[in-house]
A and B are shown apart, each in its own frame.
Chain A
Amino acid sequence: MAVEVLEPFLKGDTGRNTRGLLRLIILCTIAAAAVASRLFSVILDPWFNFRATKYLVQNGFYSFWDWFDDREASHPVAQLVYEPRKPAEEPKRTRTWHPLGRVTGGTLYPGLMVTSGIIYHVLRFLSMPVDIRNICVLLAPGFSGLTAFASYLITSEMTTSPSAGLLAAIFMGITPGYISRSVAGSYDNEAIAIFLLVFTFFLWIKSVKNGSAMWGALTALFYGYMVSAWGGYVFITNLLPLHTFVLICMGRYSPRLYVSYSTWFALGTLASMQVPFVGFLPIRSSDHMSALGVFGLLQLVAFVEFIRQQVPNKQFQTLLRGLIFVVFVVSMGVLVLLTVSGVIAPWSGRFYSLWDTGYAKIHIPIIASVSEHQPTAWPAFFFDLNLMIWLFPAGVYMCFQQLKDEHVFVVIYAVLASYFAGVMVRLMLTLTPVVCIAAALAISSILDTYLVAENPIPKETQANGQATSDSIKSAADVIKDSLRSTRNPVLGIYSYVSKASVVGAVTTYLLLFVLHCTWVTSNAYSSPSVVLASKLPDGSQHIIDDYREAYYWLRQNTPDKAKIMSWWDYGYQIGGMADRPTLVDNNTWNNTHIATVGKAMSSREEVSYPILRQHDVDYVLVVFGGLLGYSGDDINKFLWMVRISEGIWPDEINERNYFTARGEYRVDDEATPTMRNSLMYKMSYYNYNALFPAGQAQDRVRGSKLPAEGPQLSTLEEAFTSENWIIRIYKVKDLDNVGRDHGSAVAFDKGNKKKKTAKRRGARVLRVE
């Protein structure tokens, strides 16, 4: 890769020489800036990945593969974080998805962990002992530096203007849309996946351009790496065939295309099947069928091309055309048939939800319940991409003007990614690279155009360090080799005034962009999800750390094998920070298992208690934002729990019952009995009244006044509540000593003090076991 950069440097020509060196320095600066801008705050976030990495580093690759994440796990994960020199406690075991357990190695994308494991071992080999934790924290920023470099490479393939690549690199380095997923400590698959995405695209373009099997093989290798790292690899799996298909349809078939695509497909498919979690999907699921179809088509087209070269017989060609058509129709038919008959898995649910935004809500509430899967709000585009959002169409238009093979790719990528980004917030991430590329093309074209003739050095571009050197260099470049295809230079542009004004305007925009990125990074994306940061009136930062408070309490003060039930969003965090087994976590594939938790949360205590007992639940954890006005709490997620469990037990749970007669979702006096008797409601508001003067209890999220009398709990007891009440933990009571059910036991206890309440609370029958 570096050869690209060094090439001019090695040619010997002094002008090119210095320029090459300069470019290298600029790239390094950009990478450094990309890394630095991500270090605003460092808190390790996705704990599951970190835990898995620790396991991998300690027990080696093969046992990681077979890591059965359950309390019976045979490989204890020792405490790397700070390990007592003589262990003060038994080595902890990790476990999830109680009681099912989880073969972790086979149900995750191992790319991330393996990457950090390799880095760890390489560093150790170089005798630089580094804590694996630090590697995990810094992995994302490190890879974002590489991403910036990769976008330089890919943009340089698009245009001859060298400034475009540098601009793309700096855009990629600091754009908030990407920073959001790669701040230090956000140790998630996306951290390395975006680099792999961009780099795979670069290799693909390179391979199409050169028709070289080597580049194709490299594409396949990085594609394999990508598959092992992120579920979003399907995007590549479909984009490359689409590119090929469009090229063929445009009559742009070339042997180069055949070589690169066939090599990529043959090697890439095999590579992707090496990942256990993917396994046979590439030949079983419809998501991957387009690649296979295009592969077959390409073979046919290649064959026909040869025939056509040999036999320019019109009739014969017609014959062949017919043949191809028949083959195509037949294979499509077979495909449809196989899909219908179930040999090939139909499109996965997430895929449908891409086309029909209402689909998920109806059929797979579990997917729709994730906030990342919601359609993107308009402001988010501007927030994440800022000025690039209006440069983007210009860049795409410029691609249309040239429209070589690689430009077709960018155009397709742009169209698809824009659509997807509009459908799902999460996919904004795949849009970001192409926006950076297109915007860089547009800006560099403007700068090149207006700085062509010799000029009064564009000092205006000073402040943005990179931009300065870019423009100087691009100007110099253009003078020398004038290879660049610019639009017809308008006469007026030779005057200083027009030059200065345009360059000044562009520079201002760039500066604004940098300001925006800095602001967004330091404010919006720097606090990880476990910590809520707010500003006090005096400007100092106030940190609300309830999650970790409660998790740490669980970790320190509950039995090692206590099972925690919570909504699945918190599964990884509990597994990682509290080190306790959970019923469901962020990666649970078993919908029924999640629905069970949903049912336990949304039913009456008498129904829930047997469920809790059956699953050996010791503690139940809920998130409650009412005191603080924290809107991401469980009451707001509650309807999803209801919907998901309704999907499995339509007879027992009915979403309608949680709404008032007028169809409102309320928690106050008007709330329906079903709502008020649900375990979730009770756990959230239990004892909350006591915090306020009588009858004044207020829920600050829903902005409503709560019933004067708070809910009563008989089968659970409050174990811990965090400082701001965000996390509430309840202990599941054991069976009553005397064999009474809990309702009457509590009634009896109360009856000792207040005789009359005993009568009222008697309605419930429950037999456990």
Chain B
Amino acid sequence: MRSLTLFAAYLSSIFTTAVADSNLSTPLSSHQILPDNFKPPEVFKNANLLRNINLEKGYVRETVNVVIENIDANEQDTYYIPFKAEAIGNVGGLEVKDKKDPEKPAFRSEVVEYDPYSPTQFYRVTLPVPLAPSAQQTLAISYHVLSALAPLPAAINQQDKQYLHYTFSTYWPSAYLTEKQKTKVKFSTADVPGFTAEPLREGKTFTYGPFEKTPAGVEQEASVRYESTRPVIHATLLERDIEISQWGGNLATEERYWLTNKGAHLSGHFSRVEWARTQHYNPPTSALRMLTLPLQVGSLNPYFTDDIGNVSTSRFRSNIREANLELKPRYPLFGGWNYSFKVGWDASLGGFLRKLKNGDGYVLRVPFLEGPKMSEGISYEKVDLRVILPEGAT
């Protein structure tokens, strides 16, 4: 067989997985070293800013819609977003788009570093078209914050409700002057027993502000403690192998998860009696009992094993429209418990591989992640993706 040229392009998921994107716990490697005592030039101002903090899942998702205005005399194309040094490692999936034109690809954004010891670190966003003086543009910035939620109390009984605690700033930390801003926090239930900084409560939503004329870098701390009786699923490591077998026309995927539940620990011990009793009416619980993996339609031969062999409690439903793999871990996963497992499946290669029009290369198009789809979300600390090309491919 003549050697193939395979361009393996890992396009991010065509599925809009409601899953936190991979977050590299260490800052991205493409650091731009900036001079010491760097401070973003005050060339922009935020004319209007609306910030949404979504606390419905096991991680925090923030969406910021901001109208920026160039107040400098020259064209500007570099916009900085500051984060606290201890938090920037937990920020993932930062994406900046043009609000007016969401179809366009996201702007280039990267972590920059000027002083590793500085308490503030920056993301730098490069606008594709420099902004003319006093022109305005609306940006849609979204990102996830991981490991920011802590159960409070840290240990609960098996039946108890679980409360999570989150601390944030009511002002969006910005490197520029903000004319007007408002922060909205969204919960999954209306049960929010503890909060600070007098928000406006409307059902499941809190609103802070509006605030006028906030200078750059000013913060006002606020915290909320809200009910979330569902597991806080966290994958400390996900290894994902995609193996292409040109010979068998097969695309084999194997994923190895190391899961942990970061929810509240059990204050006593696990009681099977209580667990069995509650199984009938299925109340909300902080334990993870099942994972659903939506696979690509046409996936075959799924398997679910762990270190000690096949796990018999899985179900695979496959038809023309969907292919769902339902996995039940060997035991319910309470706060602080771990579970590691391996799932894998095959698929016909035809749907993923496309021959280039010119030359003899191929393009592979596979989802970056196909993790479990859970209403409470799942966060990944580290994802290790490996594409195994056929022997002899260059």
Residues of A with C-beta under 8 A to B310: 43
Q: Contact: B236 with A719, CB < 8 Å?
A: no
Cross-chain contact of A577 among B273, B308, B338, B339 (Cβ < 8 A): B308
Q: A82-B342, A557-B337, A557-B338 are in contact. Are A720 and B270 (CB under 8 A)?
A: yes
Residues of A with C-beta under 8 A to B308: 47, 548, 551-552, 555, 576-577
Cross-chain contact of B273 among A545, A548, A551, A690 (Cβ < 8 A): A690
Q: Contact mask B266-298 → A, CB, 8 Å, 1/0?
A: 001111110010000000000000000000000
Q: Distance (Å) between the CB of A702 and the closest chain B CB?
A: 20
- Can you name the residue of chain B whose Cβ is closest to the Cβ of A43? B309
Residues of B with C-beta under 8 A to A79: 307
Q: Contact mask A536-571 → B, CB, 8 Å, 1/0?
A: 000000010100111111011100000000000000
The CA of A555 and the CA of B309, in the complex, are separated in Å by 13
Q: A79-B307, A82-B256 are in contact. Are A720 and B331 (CB under 8 A)?
A: yes
Q: Contact: A691 with B384, CB < 8 Å?
A: no
The CA of A84 and the CA of B237, in the complex, are separated in Å by 9
The CA of A513 and the CA of B8, in the complex, are separated in Å by 56
Q: Distance (Å) between the CB of A336 and the closest chain B CB?
A: 52
Most buried by B among A553, A577, A687, A731: A553
Q: Contact: B237 with A725, CB < 8 Å?
A: no
Q: Contact: B271 with A718, CB < 8 Å?
A: yes
Residues of B with C-beta under 8 A to A594: none
Cross-chain contact of A553 among B237, B258, B312, B330 (Cβ < 8 A): B330
Q: Is A717 an interface residue (CB 8 A)?
A: yes
Interface size class of B (residues with CB under 8 A): 20 to 34
Q: Contact: A556 with B340, CB < 8 Å?
A: yes
Q: Is B212 an interface residue (CB 8 A)?
A: no
Residues of B with C-beta under 8 A to A553: 330-331, 337
Q: Contact: B309 with A721, CB < 8 Å?
A: no
The CA of A720 and the CA of B332, in the complex, are separated in Å by 11
Q: Distance (Å) between the CB of A531 and the closest chain B CB?
A: 8
Q: Distance (Å) between the CB of B259 and the closest chain A CB?
A: 9
Q: Is B239 an interface residue (CB 8 A)?
A: yes
Q: A85-B239, A88-B236, A552-B308 are in contact. Are A719 and B270 (CB under 8 A)?
A: yes
Q: Contact: A85 with B384, CB < 8 Å?
A: yes
Q: Distance (Å) between the CB of B382 and the closest chain A CB?
A: 9
Q: Is A44 an interface residue (CB 8 A)?
A: yes
Q: Contact: A556 with B312, CB < 8 Å?
A: no
The CA of A476 and the CA of B194, in the complex, are separated in Å by 94
Q: Contact: A44 with B309, CB < 8 Å?
A: yes
Q: Distance (Å) between the CB of B302 and the closest chain A CB?
A: 17
Residues of A with C-beta under 8 A to B384: 85-86
The CA of A44 and the CA of B310, in the complex, are separated in Å by 10
Q: Contact: A725 with B309, CB < 8 Å?
A: no
Q: Distance (Å) between the CB of A565 and the closest chain B CB?
A: 17
- Can you name the residue of chain A whose Cβ is closest to the Cβ of B339? A556
Q: Contact: B313 with A545, CB < 8 Å?
A: yes
Interface size class of A (residues with CB under 8 A): 35 or more
Residues of B with C-beta under 8 A to A490: none
Q: Is B77 an interface residue (CB 8 A)?
A: no
CB under 8 Å from chain A, chain B span 284-337: 306-313, 330-331, 336-337
Q: Distance (Å) between the CB of B26 and the closest chain A CB?
A: 13
CB under 8 Å from chain B, chain A span 85-106: 85-86, 88
The CA of A556 and the CA of B239, in the complex, are separated in Å by 18
Residues of A with C-beta under 8 A to B311: 545, 548
Most buried by A among B239, B307, B342: B307
Q: Contact: B271 with A687, CB < 8 Å?
A: yes
CB under 8 Å from chain B, chain A span 45-83: 47, 79, 81-82
Q: Contact: A552 with B256, CB < 8 Å?
A: no
Q: A556-B337, A687-B273, A717-B269 are in contact. Are A549 and B331 (CB under 8 A)?
A: yes
The CA of A311 and the CA of B88, in the complex, are separated in Å by 105
Q: Distance (Å) between the CB of A328 and the closest chain B CB?
A: 57
Residues of B with C-beta under 8 A to A722: 272, 331
Residues of B with C-beta under 8 A to A545: 311-313, 330
Cross-chain contact of B307 among A531, A550, A555, A723 (Cβ < 8 A): A555
Residues of A with C-beta under 8 A to B239: 84-85
Residues of A with C-beta under 8 A to B271: 687, 718, 721
Residues of B with C-beta under 8 A to A88: 236-237, 258
Residues of A with C-beta under 8 A to B270: 718-721
- Can you name the residue of chain A whose Cβ is closest to the Cβ of B308? A577
The CA of A549 and the CA of B309, in the complex, are separated in Å by 11
Residues of B with C-beta under 8 A to A690: 273
Cross-chain contact of B269 among A85, A531, A718 (Cβ < 8 A): A718
Q: A79-B307, A84-B237, A690-B273 are in contact. Are A549 and B330 (CB under 8 A)?
A: yes
Residues of B with C-beta under 8 A to A723: 272, 331
CB under 8 Å from chain A, chain B span 239-258: 239, 256, 258
Q: Contact: B331 with A552, CB < 8 Å?
A: yes
- Can you name the residue of chain A whose Cβ is closest to the Cβ of B337? A557
Q: Contact: B272 with A548, CB < 8 Å?
A: no
Residues of A with C-beta under 8 A to B312: 531, 543, 545
CB under 8 Å from chain B, chain A span 708-763: 717-723, 725, 731
Q: Distance (Å) between the CB of B25 and the closest chain A CB?
A: 13
Residues of B with C-beta under 8 A to A85: 239, 384
The CA of A555 and the CA of B336, in the complex, are separated in Å by 14
Q: Distance (Å) between the CB of A407 and the closest chain B CB?
A: 46
Most buried by A among B269, B308, B339: B308
Residues of B with C-beta under 8 A to A550: 331
The CA of A750 and the CA of B310, in the complex, are separated in Å by 43
- Can you name the residue of chain B whose Cβ is closest to the Cβ of A548? B308
Q: Contact: B306 with A725, CB < 8 Å?
A: no
Q: Contact: A548 with B339, CB < 8 Å?
A: no
Q: Distance (Å) between the CB of B255 and the closest chain A CB?
A: 11
- Can you name the residue of chain B whose Cβ is closest to the Cβ of A557? B337
The CA of A687 and the CA of B340, in the complex, are separated in Å by 30
The CA of A550 and the CA of B331, in the complex, are separated in Å by 8
Cross-chain contact of B330 among A47, A82, A84, A548 (Cβ < 8 A): A548
Q: Distance (Å) between the CB of B288 and the closest chain A CB?
A: 13
Residues of B with C-beta under 8 A to A549: 330-331
Q: Contact: B272 with A725, CB < 8 Å?
A: yes
- Can you name the residue of chain B whose Cβ is closest to the Cβ of A545? B312
The CA of A725 and the CA of B276, in the complex, are separated in Å by 11
List, sorted by A's number, 14 A–B pairs whose CB atoms are closer than 8 Å. Answer: A43-B309, A47-B308, A88-B237, A531-B312, A552-B339, A557-B338, A687-B273, A690-B273, A718-B270, A719-B269, A719-B270, A721-B272, A722-B331, A725-B272
Task: Given contacts A543-B312, A552-B307, A722-B331, list 12 more A-B pairs with CB under 8 A.
Answer: A79-B307, A81-B307, A82-B307, A86-B384, A531-B312, A552-B330, A556-B337, A576-B308, A577-B308, A691-B273, A718-B269, A721-B271
Question: Residues of A with Cβ closer than 8 Å to B?
Answer: 43-44, 47, 79, 81-82, 84-86, 88, 531, 543, 545, 548-553, 555-557, 576-577, 687, 690-691, 717-723, 725, 731
Question: Residues of B with Cβ closer than 8 Å to A?
Answer: 236-237, 239, 256, 258, 268-273, 276, 306-313, 330-331, 336-340, 342, 384
The 10 closest A-B pairs by CB, nearest first: A721-B272, A543-B312, A549-B330, A577-B308, A556-B338, A690-B273, A552-B330, A557-B337, A88-B237, A553-B331
